[in-house]
Amino acid sequence: MAGVYLVHQDAQLSKVFQDALGSVSGFKLLGQALTGNEAATKAPGLKPEIVFVQLALPDTEGLDLIGTLRKKNPGCYFVPVLQGGEGGEIWQKILHSNLRDVLVPPLSAATVQNIYKQAETNRGLFADMPSDGASGSGYIVAIASPRGGVGKTVFAVNLALGLVHHGAQTTLLDFSMSAGDFFTMLDQVPRHTMADAIGQGLGLDSGLLRNLLADHALGFRFLACPNDDFDFYGFDFDQAKNLLKAAREISDYVVVDTGAYDMPMTAAAVEEADLVFLLGTRDLARLMAMQRLIKSFTSRGLAPEKIKIIINNAEVGSEISEAEIEEVLGHQVTAYLPSVGADTAFSINSGKPLMQTHADHPFSAVVDKLAEYTAQRWDDNPAS
């Protein structure tokens, strides 16, 4: 367990901490300070692993103190303590300071204990994450389609899980602008959503994005659209590109589930992508739409070899042969996904990706192989 230091002008708060965490095995309150100057002098020598800092200190701004202590003890994890009633500006500052956990009044034993345990977990998860000055070598994978209803979001979620299986640090972004898709498919309602990212405008950077991302138990991070209608019309081309740039800096792989092909955020995702999976089905109308979209993508500078065609529900429409599909598209098909209607419905309703619940299913096998090639960045693997 972590050694804890407390910076708070209410000396009696230490008793709340000790009472709340006294039953936690290994917990140790290393010390406390009533002012920022006292903490800056005493805390570094005690080498705490978690520091709770009241933001409204009598002699200094709490966030400034956190910045000072971080320089002296880079491995330390900080939790700001609010007084209650703070406005949105302070939350903006907390996000920009790369602080993930916040202790909010009333400071009961239960809230202190819960935040401590959460900080313990996050301290281990994020200690080795790249800083805002990371190299920005992340590989962006856009999932696109000319029309809806082809399983694009199901594919995106399962591909992200497949990348995790192949050892890739992965972030999943929802550019579809459809309310609640990820919430349902991942059975998780995160604290922050795409609406929060959109609200930052061009001020969104990698540090702030890192704080907005939710962690999923399956090993990837994600940012979903809200669970209800929201105003996404301010999410223009430049802002979408800026968000993707920030995502590159903090993830090895970024999977982007795009929306309508003529939306500005979809155009930005395709332009920034290192790889585009273009999904369709075997009916002639969608194949013709895919043909037009391939021409549109390549006319905007996307290299043809970066486009991987995926035909979903491959058994449906078998009167159109594979050779005829490629003739219509003017492009090689990379993979055919088998129909999994009932299993897909169960997967969506249960909030568990097929790769998790049906790892031996032919669908999962194909997606896993595509994830393997993607993790290798398709350098040595021809389209199949």
**pLDDT recorded at residue 382:** 42
Count of residues making up the chain: 384
Q: Concatenate the DSSP letters of all residues of 198-257 into one string.
A: HHTGGG--HHHHHHHPEEPTTS-EEE---SS----TT--HHHHHHHHHHHHHH-SEEEEE
User: What's the rounded Cα separation, in Å, for the pair 276 and 297?
Assistant: 10
Whether residue 114 is predicted with pLDDT greater than 80 in this model: the reply is yes
Band of residue 132 on the pLDDT scale cut at 50, 70, 90: very low
Range name among 16-25, 70-79, 223-232, 349-358 with the lowest pLDDT average: 16-25
- Whether residue 384 is predicted with pLDDT greater than 90 in this model: the reply is no
Average per-residue pLDDT for the chain: 87
Question: Residue 372: which pLDDT band, with cuts at 50, 70 and 90?
Answer: very high
Sheet with 253-258, strands from edge to edge, namely 214-215, 221-223, 170-175, 253-258, 139-144, 275-280, 307-311, 333-336
Report, as an integer, the average pLDDT of 134-158.
86
Q: Which residue has the higher pLDDT, 97 or 32?
A: 32
From CA 173, how far away is CA 255, in angstroms rounded?
Answer: 6
Average pLDDT for 50-67: 91
Average pLDDT, stretch 148-163? 92
SS3 at position 99? coil
Kindly list the domain boundaries of the chain, sorted by start residue.
Answer: 3-126, 139-375
pLDDT tens readout for residues 253-262: 999 999 998 8
Q: Which residues pair with 214 in a beta bridge?
A: 222
Mean pLDDT of 170-176: 95
pLDDT at 26: 65
Site of tokens 């604290």: 191
Residue 45 has pLDDT above 70, yes or no: yes
**For residue 180, what pLDDT band results from cuts at 50, 70 and 90?**
confident
Q: How confident is the model at residue 25 (pLDDT cuts 50, 70, 90)?
A: low
Fold of 3-126: Rossmann fold (3.40.50)
Q: Are 65 and 71 in contact (CB under 8 A)?
A: no
Show the tokens assigned to 359: 């790892």
- Per residue in 81-93, pLDDT tens? 988 777 667 877 7
Is-cis flag, bond preceding 146, omega within 30? no
| CATH classification code of 139-375 | 3.40.50.300
Check whether 138 has a pLDDT greater than 70.
Answer: yes
Is residue 277 within 8 A of residue 163, CB to CB? The reply is no
At 158, is the pLDDT very low, low, confident or very high (cuts 50, 70, 90)?
A: very high
Angle at 262 between CA 254 and CA 146, to 5 degrees: 75
Residue 179 CA to residue 177 CA, distance in Å, equals 6
User: What stretch of H or E contains 191?
Assistant: none
Q: What phi-psi label fits residue 64: left (phi over 0), alpha (psi between -120 and 50 degrees) or beta?
A: alpha
- pLDDT score, position 119: 86
Structure confidence at residue 129 (pLDDT): 46
- Reference 145, options 321, 338, 303, 289; nearest CA is 289
pLDDT (tens digit, 9 = 90+) per residue, 325-359?
999 999 999 999 988 778 888 888 888 998 898 88
The least confident of 98-102, 264-268, 297-301 is 98-102
What's the average model confidence in pLDDT over 184-212? Answer: 91
Measured CA to CA, the distance from residue 87 to residue 259 in angstroms comes to 34
Exposure of 99 in the CB half-sphere (CA atoms within 13 A) = 28
